[in-house]
Structure 1
Amino acid sequence: MQDGRLREGLWIKAVPSAYDEAQVSNYLCRIKFPGSWSADNVKDFNADLDNLALLMRLHIVTFAFENTAIHYTKEHSMDISLPSLYQRLVIEGKGSYCFGKNTLFLQMIRALGYRAYSSAGRINTANPDSPTHFLAFVHQVLFVQPIQDSNATYVVDASGGGSCLMLPVLLKHGSKVVGATPSEWHTLMNTARPESSLSPSPNSEESAGVEWHLIVSHTSDDGSISSTKILYSFLESEFFTMDYECSNLGLYTGAWSEKEPIFVDNIVCSRCFWLSDEEMEAELALTDNLETYQRDIYSEGGIPRWDGSLNSRFMGRLALFNTEVKRHVGTRSETVKSFHTELERIDALREFFGIDIPRVDLENIRGRKPALELP
């Protein structure tokens, strides 16, 4: 393995996007990317690393990580086809989960000039600081080579769910990037599962390091590590539409519900948001990591110097689960709304996440496990 590069130094080809210039310009307008964009000028987009980071951050602020379509539509499905994703996210302003959000993001950045492909990951459902429990391939990650005439490769996850990535991270063992605030960090580790059958040499008992782990760590206000967890493992192999469609089918139909019931048994919704200037100052005052300003922010744990820009602004997270919405900023969480009926829940989805569920669609959740009191 070459640090910062795919195995054997592979290059990613420029692949045409499934979306046209008009759709891409509409996407840039939807996520409020700076500038004035139209079908005539998207070809002039500067496809560099900093703009990749900004696209990723705007994407997870704009589109919620959510599964409402499973419960509030007649189909009870999560459609991840390209026309459906464009309609649901770009036109309607709703969200999806990892398969939908990363599929849309991949096609949009390809249209903007980035060389990229997608792979799959295994989510770890164990609690922090506990032995791992990996699912099958039910997560999607992206690999991007954003530097012209270079095969330096970055991992991108634009899903926005849970303690998600907030910046592209260099594909290198030990690469570290800041999360939502400096109380959260993401680290890449190249490793092997102990039960692996692969070995680096004929007589070695060691397992070959062909798997990547994304690890999230959280710190307390005093700077000590309060928890560590492997979010997911992933491979460098390229996965394609049929791979995701098969995994997606198992998730939304409940075929895998005994292994992973969260989406069929619950309404899940989360969205990142920008901190205000006052919240930014409060978060900066809590950290003594200011020396990390001088380090690379995409691999060495550097913190973007606060200059008022969106690439240097920290984030918080809103999360709806069961009967409440919580607001998370740094190490602090508060319940901002509780509800006990379906009418109250769709009000919360509209108010905090911009997801409009017509009242008539409440009939579609009747009899399903996550249903609350219905009119």
Structure 2
Amino acid sequence: MLRTGLLRDDLWIKSVPSLYSNEKASKWLERIKYPGNWSADKINQFPADLENLCLLIRLQIVAFAFENTAMHYTSHHSMDISPPTLYQRLVIEGKGSYCFGMNTFFLQMIRALGYRAYSGSGRINTAGSDSSPRFLAFVHQVLFVQPISGSSITYFVDASGGGSCLTRPILFKHGAKVLGATPSEWHTLIKSARMDSSLAPAPDSTQSAGVEWHLIVTHESEDHTSSSRIMYSFIEDEFFTMDYECSNIGIYSGVWHSKESLFGDNVVCAKCFWLTDEEMENELGKTGPSKETSSLQERDVYSEGYIPRWDGSFMTRYLGRFGLYKNELKKHVGTRSETVETFRTELERIGVLRRYFGIDIPESDITHISGRASALASDGPG
């Protein structure tokens, strides 16, 4: 029987020790509100399976913000993605990071729980929906996990939480499709090829070799039209600490500024939140019954595009997103987006960061953003 969801050559991921201790993993589970009492002495008994991997991702992107405030409100204007700093920033301080930090942190934490996983890298697409992609260099981090004991079946994971982020694992196969934040959003994996690639599947072939993957997000609107875009491309190769450190320096130092100035010119912050029961009822009213299943186990929600039946759990509760950009905070739920707050000064912005994202920036640190392209007025009425 032909199996799907495999790395090339059916490679296995080895068990690799985590850089975080059992004690730190226990504190992380407590911070993200994983159910139960998982003290350090119980971590080795954690059920490191697919269902828990899904729950951990969802709890992580609700607990921590995708953000780059350290680039703007510190004297060093950098983003430290070392494991000790990430633990302090996320678990102790309740702040966040961006993809390099969030996925580095998540990788080490799930390794501490017994998962077999490694990290890869991707090229972000800066083009809009339904248009030809414009890929950056390798400035995104992704994860590959084999969560089934005794199996090389692989799932693709991105626990960074930014933008239209993945909200669950997706089986690593061409055409795999998973539900996003709500049924108005879907993510699909496609194995593809760059048209400008020098690689071909055969000596006389005019086709490019399909050696890279695309993560595609599709959004449905209120009028039932849809739009799709490639979020990023990636390859299966394993990337390591030095790879991410070099790319990270390029981002926060401005080396990539001529190609992509999103982080350098802006304070960016996004965070998922659980929909209320009332919001759930509104979204469920838009969902056709044909895709719903009575349980997560009846259909493969990690590859076949099924919607798990709402049972009140975090596994089936839909998500919304808060997004802060420039001088505006927006709330996104399903097909609806609304402006929650606008702000004109740095004092007002750090107030929004504190109230909606749990990021506490002392007023004295406003001086560090002064003169930068991202700066708002430093004082005065809102």
- TM band (smaller chain): over 0.9
1:336 aligns to 2:343 (yes or no): no
Match of 1:217 in 2: 218
Structure 1 residues 236-291: Cα deviation after superposition (integer angstroms, max 9, x where no partner): 00000000000000000111101010101000000000001111111011121543
Q: Which residue of 2 aligns with 1:321?
A: 325
Deviations 1:131-166 (A, max 9, x none): 100000000000000000110000000000000101
The alpha carbon displacement at 1:69 in A equals 0.2
Q: Does 1:354 align with 2:363?
A: no
Task: Give the counterpart letter for 1:207 in structure 2.
Answer: S
CA displacement at 1:295 relative to structure 2: 3.2
Q: 2:194–2:208: 8 Å Cα contact kept in structure 1? A: yes
> Deviation string for 1:311-338 (max 9, x for gaps)?
0000000000000100000000111111
Q: Match of 1:110?
A: 111
Partner residue, 1:263:
263
Please list the CA deviations of residues 2-24 of structure 1 after superposition, one character each: whole Å capped at 9, or x if unmatched. Answer: 73000000000000000001100
Could you tell me how far apart the structure 2 residues matched to 1:178 and 1:223 are?
17
Q: CA deviation at 1:302?
A: 1.1
Of 356, 369, 376, the match for 1:372: 376
CA distance, structure 2, for counterparts of residue 326 and residue 366 of structure 1: 24
Q: Which residue number corresponds to residue 204 of structure 1?
A: 205
Q: Does 1:41 align with 2:42?
A: yes
2:270, 2:323 within 8 Å by CA — same for their partners in 1? yes
1:253-332 aligned within 5 A: 253-288=253-288, 290-293=290-293, 295-332=299-336
Measure how far apart 1:98 and its partner are.
Answer: 0.2
Q: Secondary structure at the match of 2:72?
A: helix
CA distance in 2, matches of 1:235, 1:116: 15
Equivalent residue letter for 2:109? M
The 2-side partners of 1:253 and 1:113 are apart by 35
Q: Where does structure 1 lack aligned partners over 5 or more consecutive residues?
A: none
Aligned-partner residue type, residue 345 of structure 1 = R
Q: Which runs of structure 2 are paired with 1:65-104 in the superposition (5 Å)?
A: 65-104=66-105
Hey, what's the Cα distance between the residues in 1 that align with 2:64 and 2:291? 33
Structure 2 CA distance for partners of 1:2 and 1:194, relative to 1, 3 Å: farther
Aligned to 1:25: 26
Q: Which runs of 5+ in 2 are unaligned?
A: none
Q: Match for residue 183 of structure 1?
A: 184
Distance 1:251 1:140 in 2: 13
Which whole-Å CA distance do the structure 2 matches of 1:196 and 1:320 have between them?
37
Task: Find the counterpart in structure 2 of residue 166 from structure 1.
Answer: 167
Provide the residue aligned with 2:157 in structure 1. Answer: 156
> Does structure 2 retain, via aligned residues, the 8 Å contact 1:292–1:301?
no
Q: CA RMSD in A?
A: 1.1
Label 1:288 to 1:221 Cα distance change in 2 as closer, same or farther (>3 A): farther
Q: What TM-score, normalized to structure 2?
A: 0.96
Give the TM-score of the pair, scaled to structure 1. Answer: 0.98
Q: Which amino acid aligns with 2:345?
A: T
CA contact (8 A) 1:295 1:301 kept: no
Would you say the 8 A contact 1:162–1:270 is kept in 2? Answer: yes
The alignment partner of 2:174 has SS state of coil
AA in 2 matched with 1:239: F
Deviation (angstroms), 1:292: 4.3
Shift of 1:221: 3.3
Deviation at 1:222, TM superposition (A): 4.9
| In 2: Cα distance, 1:331 partner to 1:290 partner | 20
- 1:249 maps to a residue whose letter is I
* C-alpha distance in 2 between matches for 1:180 and 1:223: 17
CA distance in 2, matches of 1:241, 1:2: 32
Match of 2:6 in 1: 5
Give the Cα separation in 1 of the matches to 2:289 and 2:165: 21
The answer to whether the 8 Å contact 2:292/2:309 transfers is: no
Closer/same/farther in 2, CA of residues 364 and 136 from structure 1, 3 Å limit = same
**Cα deviation 1:72-91 (Å, max 9, x = unaligned):** 00110000011100000111
Q: Describe the SS at the equivalent of 1:3.
A: coil
Percent of aligned pairs with the same amino acid: 66
Deviation at 1:304, TM superposition (A): 1.4
